[in-house]
Amino acid sequence: MLGLKRTTLIRRSAAGEQLTPDEAERIADLSRLLATALSHGANSANGRRESATHLTRWLRTAHPRLDRRPPQSVMEYGFGRAQVQTLLNQDFAQGRL
């Protein structure tokens, strides 16, 4: 989704290597998306779990404002991640999530 391979991140972590600035930015952006989803969830553990599940589903579902592409398909670059954050906020505000 972010153009980062899980195995690479695991290997680097095991070797004590730091992320590149670009990799760190990608992960921080994904963390912000998750924080947005969680902030709209209930204050219970179950509500937070459901929020994370809804976010995952939303990221994988075709979105009309992205020419029917799923949000995760545009998240490799910073502009796309910013666009996805904006869409997520708008969808929450308009009650679509």
pLDDT in tens, 51-82: 778 888 889 999 999 999 999 999 888 899 99
In the block, tokens 């969680």 appear at 38
Alpha-carbon gap, residue 34 to 55, rounded angstroms: 7
Selection from 65, 95, 96, 94 nearest residue 84 by Cα: 65
The answer to whether 69 touches 63, Cβ cutoff 8 Å, is yes
Percent of the chain surpassing pLDDT 90: 25
Spatial neighbors of 59 by CB under 8 A, at least 6 apart, are: 1, 33, 70, 71, 72, 75, 84
pTM of the model: 0.76
pLDDT grade for 47, boundaries at 50, 70 and 90: low
* Mean pLDDT for the stretch of residues 12-41: 85
